[in-house]
């Protein structure tokens, strides 16, 4: 029994443990970018002209935001009516403004010659709050928001030289990762556990290899469907492959959230409605999604022990059932 005059100490220790879980998981995700950096020195030592590039980006940001919304609206505006989404929840000016602020901060980070790893820790809270705001009343709204961010980044990159394009893509990928994936929700879920919790440990075990898993799965899908094309192009095209890898990572993060929350709610309330709204529009067939889930299940099974697998198996099974042929019967014959 803790004496009353020491109760504040117990509370403080618990809070410290929770905070350390959040920080550790966030740092592990940020470290993923280090591996990209070490393979290309330009991503560590930024070019001398980065200030002029940053100035060019700042000048292009406002018109890029406006152009990006037009692209987003043209692509998925019909989904508002088809999915009976309240149009009042989609405020184009607010979405564009939120996008503008995040890209503005990212450009500032680039101009200061901070690495993408540092950017990941700087913007994770801001982007996490944006996700919370837009998923609060209808999780599908984040689909419009993510499209706005995605197109803004693509438009900004289109005006860059090849060397600048390669470098800036690393920074903009950080934004995409935190917006598409419920990383902040995963960090908060991790805060519920002691540092040595089996649940926290299994997520920490899979996190560093999530990019490797995603790349391996996407390469396999390209081999299986060499002639398939989405709205943006063939699966092997660089931009499509990057988006595909991000989506596989996104599915993994949603699985982690399910394990951390011990609930399928994140998939039911966010991932599934988003997939139903966006994938048909982007010409991503359900057989591709099922193949990805099947390969993901195989990768997880090959990397975890029996006790660790018991934490994931129920959610992997539910994920498969939700996207099963009984629900979505299309095939790629």
Domains in the chain, ordered, with CATH? 18-192 (1.10.490), 193-333 (1.10.490.20)
- Measured CA to CA, the distance from residue 280 to residue 110 in angstroms comes to 35
CB-side exposure of 39: number of CA atoms within 13 Å?
8
| pLDDT one digit per residue (tens) for the chain, 333 residues | 333 333 323 333 344 445 555 555 666 666 665 555 544 443 445 555 788 889 999 999 999 999 999 988 887 778 888 888 888 898 989 999 999 999 999 999 999 888 888 898 899 889 989 999 998 889 899 988 998 999 999 999 998 888 888 889 989 999 988 898 998 889 889 999 988 899 999 999 999 999 999 999 999 999 999 999 998 899 999 889 999 999 999 999 999 999 999 999 999 999 999 999 999 989 999 999 999 999 999 999 999 999 999 999 999 999 999 999 999 887 654
**CA proximity to 29, closest of 259, 187, 215, 191:** 187
CB 319 within 8 A of CB 255: yes
């Amino acid at each position: 029994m803790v004496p009353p005059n020491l109760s504040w100490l117990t509370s403080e220790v618990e809070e410290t443990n929770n905070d350390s879980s959040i920080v550790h998981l966030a740092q592990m995700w940020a470290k993923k970018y280090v591996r990209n950096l070490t393979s290309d020195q330009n991503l560590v030592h930024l070019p001398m002209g980065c200030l002029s590039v940053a100035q060019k980006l700042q000048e292009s940001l406002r018109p890029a935001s406006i152009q990006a919304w037009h692209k987003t609206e043209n692509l998925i505006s019909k989904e508002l009516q088809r999915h009976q989404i309240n149009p009042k929840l989609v405020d184009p000016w607010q979405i564009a403004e939120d996008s503008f602020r995040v890209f503005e901060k990212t450009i500032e980070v680039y101009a200061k010659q901070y690495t993408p790893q540092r950017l990941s820790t700087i913007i994770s809270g801001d982007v996490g709050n944006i996700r919370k705001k837009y998923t609060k009343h209808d999780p599908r709204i984040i689909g419009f928001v993510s499209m706005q961010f995605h197109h803004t980044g693509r438009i900004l990159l289109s005006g860059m030289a090849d060397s600048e394009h390669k470098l800036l893509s690393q920074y903009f990928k950080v934004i995409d990762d935190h917006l598409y994936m419920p990383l902040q929700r995963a960090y908060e879920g991790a805060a519920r556990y002691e540092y040595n919790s089996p649940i926290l440990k299994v997520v920490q075990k899979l996190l560093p290899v999530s990019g490797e898993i995603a790349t391996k799965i996407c390469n396999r899908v390209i081999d299986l469907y060499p002639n398939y094309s989405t709205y943006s192009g063939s699966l092997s095209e660089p931009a499509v492959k990057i988006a595909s890898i991000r989506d596989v990572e996104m599915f993994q993060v949603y699985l982690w959230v399910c394990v951390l929350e011990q609930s399928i709610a994140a998939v039911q309330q966010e991932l599934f409605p988003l997939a139903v709204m966006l994938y048909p529009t982007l010409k991503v067939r359900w057989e591709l999604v099922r193949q990805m889930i099947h390969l993901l299940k195989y990768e997880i099974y090959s990397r975890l022990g029996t006790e660790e697998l018991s934490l994931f198996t129920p959610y992997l099974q539910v994920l498969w059932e939700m996207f099963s042929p009984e629900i979505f019967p299309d095939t790629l014959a």
